[in-house]
Amino acid sequence: MTGQPFDTSVVIVGAGQAGLSVAFYLRRLGLDAGNDFVMLDRGPGTGGAWQFRWEALRLGYAHRVNDLPGMDELGLSFDTADRQAPAKDVVADYYAQYEQHYGLQVVRPANVTRVDGMMDGFTVSFDDGVGAQQVSTRILVNATGTWGAPFIPWYPGLDTFQGRKVHTSDYRDAEDFRGQRVAVVGGGTSAIGFLMELEKVAGEVTWFSRRPIEFLEEQELNIEAGSSSVRQQDEAARQGRALPSIVSTTGVPRSRRIQAAIDRGLLVAQPMFTRVEPHGVQLPDGRSLPVDAIIWATGFRPELRHLAPLKLREKAGGITVGQGASWRNSRVFFAGYGPAASTIGANRAGRTIARQVIATLSSLD
Ligand SMILES: Cc1cc2nc3c(=O)[nH]c(=O)nc-3n(C[C@H](O)[C@H](O)[C@H](O)COP(=O)(O)OP(=O)(O)OC[C@H]3O[C@@H](n4cnc5c(N)ncnc54)[C@H](O)[C@@H]3O)c2cc1C
């Protein structure tokens, strides 16, 4: 212990599945929410990234959504949740009850703009919608997810496109594309969800993917179960490389909805176009396909901009993380990062990270 006054021992940035899971285990290990640890989240409401997902998305459309640790104590489970209601509302509601039940006292809105290292800890700067604020802490847990860092791959002519360019994070409603010619790009369940929603609404829909789609035999994908995706994510994180796309390694489960769409011939992906033109895309055979809109369901990257002052990024393009702990700074932890970027992974990361946080704090006392 250095004697340096800190406002709190632990700051958790982000109150999605990963941040809430860390908070649950910290509390269980004896830390007091709002005092020993402080959670900051920039979202206006509960639900993490789920609160921003599109209206038509329902729980269980593709992947399993795992319960938060301790959610059974509230008599809640995503397995028995309403599957007719928008997932965004169900998750936001369950998380709200969870935060309240466990008294997690999340500060929101609190948009963390930067984290600076100081002697034996950090200064976390955030905007609470009224003005700039700061909190100092001995340990930082980053649980900011990926929703705020949408990824669109570069194609020649991309900037010349005159139609609508929409990423998954901007997609709201199929009605926005009524009667239009739409290109959907991406090989994952988001792209497939959009195709199914647009089927009867858009004028014409063409699906493009960088690689042939692998449809799995499972009805519901448990991202962790037997998946090489987690191993590849873990290897990249441990080597400080940029994380590979999760979609490219998981495959797509054959839920009943997806199987029905395959059977009616909807889910036939074309090889990627070679360039974007002002009013369409150029196909590999040189023909032009006119389109009014391109929907990029091409994934996300970890949102880490606010950590730039800590200089954690490696030359290889990523940050080195093993078991949720930063290799470069033993007081920084990453929840929901890389191999933990699923609801089950986030739960597990919460437990592992909380234990390490307590061990680190004990070593400082
Ligand atoms: C379309 C889509 C569907 C998915 N479906 C599933 C599924 O069915 N099952 C599954 O297991 N996984 C699914 N995933 C993966 C999913 O994102 C994770 O499982 C999990 O919900 C992510 O939790 P998280 O806490 O890591 O991130 P998030 O839920 O994104 O939470 C991060 C939080 O950090 C906050 N934040 C970010 N930056 C800052 C900042 N600078 N300052 C303050 N706060 C900040 C955000 O406001 C947010 O509340 C899906 C992902 C996508 C994109």
State yes or no: pLDDT of 218 exceeds 90.
Answer: no
pLDDT > 70 in the chain, percent:
95
State if residue 148 touches ligand 1 by the CB under 6 angstroms criterion.
Answer: yes
Mutation test residue for ligand 1: of 38, 41, 88, the one with most atoms within 8 Å of CB: 41
* Model pTM score: 0.94
Per-residue pLDDT of 109-164, as tens digits, reads 999 999 999 989 999 999 999 999 999 999 999 999 999 999 999 999 999 999 99
Beta bridge partners of 167: 296
pLDDT score at 152: 96
pLDDT score at 264: 95
- Ligand 1 centre to CA of 80 (Å) is 21
Per-residue pLDDT of 44-99, as tens digits, reads 999 999 999 999 999 977 678 899 999 999 999 999 999 999 999 999 999 999 99
What lies within 8 Å, CB to CB, of 252 at 6+ separation is: 62, 187, 188, 189, 192, 213, 214, 215, 216, 221, 258
State yes or no: pLDDT of 328 exceeds 90.
Answer: yes
Q: Is the dihedral of CA 181, 186, 192, 193 positive or negative?
A: negative
Distance CA 20, CA 303 (A): 17
* Atom from ligand 1 closest to the CA of residue 190: 1
State yes or no: pLDDT of 102 exceeds 60.
Answer: yes
pLDDT band at 251 (very low <50, low <70, confident <90, very high): confident
pLDDT score at 214: 85
Instruction: Indicate the pairing of strand 321-322 with strand 325-326.
Output: antiparallel
Domain ranges of the chain: 8-148+300-364, 158-219+254-296
- Ligand 1 centre to CA of 302 (Å) is 10
Average of per-residue pLDDT across 211-222 = 77
- Ligand 1 centre to CA of 7 (Å) is 27
* Atom from ligand 1 closest to the CA of residue 62: 8
pLDDT score at 2: 46
State yes or no: pLDDT of 252 exceeds 70.
Answer: yes
H or E element, residue 263: helix 256-263
- Ligand 1 centre to CA of 105 (Å) is 19
Query: Residue 313 in 3-state DSSP?
Result: strand
**Atom 3 (ligand 1) nearest CA:** 190
State if residue 47 touches ligand 1 by the CB under 6 angstroms criterion.
Answer: no
pLDDT score at 1: 40
State if residue 111 touches ligand 1 by the CB under 6 angstroms criterion.
Answer: yes
DSSP structure string for 118-132: ETTEEEEEEE-SSSE
Note whether 8-148+300-364 and 158-219+254-296 share their fold. Answer: yes
CATH of 158-219+254-296, one of 3.50.50.60, 3.40.30.10, 3.30.470.10, 3.40.50.2000: 3.50.50.60
pLDDT score at 140: 98
> pLDDT: is 2 or 43 the higher one?
43
Q: Which stretch of 14-28, 262-276, 339-353 has the lowest confidence by average pLDDT? A: 339-353
pLDDT > 90 in the chain, percent:
82
- Ligand 1 centre to CA of 208 (Å) is 25
pLDDT score at 210: 92
Q: What is the mean pLDDT of the chain?
A: 93
- Ligand 1 centre to CA of 291 (Å) is 31
State if residue 112 touches ligand 1 by the CB under 6 angstroms criterion.
Answer: yes
Closest C-alpha to 346, from 208, 115, 143, 58: 143
* Atom from ligand 1 closest to the CA of residue 299: 53
pLDDT band at 302 (very low <50, low <70, confident <90, very high): very high
* Atom from ligand 1 closest to the CA of residue 306: 41
Helix 343-364 × helix 17-28 angle, to 10°: 40
- Ligand 1 centre to CA of 32 (Å) is 24
- Ligand 1 centre to CA of 146 (Å) is 6
Per-residue pLDDT of 264-282, as tens digits, reads 999 999 999 999 999 999 9
**Atom 41 (ligand 1) nearest CA:** 112
- Ligand 1 centre to CA of 282 (Å) is 34
**Atom 38 (ligand 1) nearest CA:** 144
Mutation test residue for ligand 1: of 64, 147, 250, the one with most atoms within 8 Å of CB: 147
pLDDT score at 326: 97
pLDDT score at 272: 97
State yes or no: pLDDT of 356 exceeds 70.
Answer: yes
Protein fold of 8-148+300-364: FAD/NAD(P)-binding domain (3.50.50)
240-to-84, 162, 163, 215 alpha-carbon distances in Å:
41, 38, 37, 30
State if residue 161 touches ligand 1 by the CB under 6 angstroms criterion.
Answer: no
pLDDT band at 190 (very low <50, low <70, confident <90, very high): very high
State the amino acid at position 163 in one-letter form: G
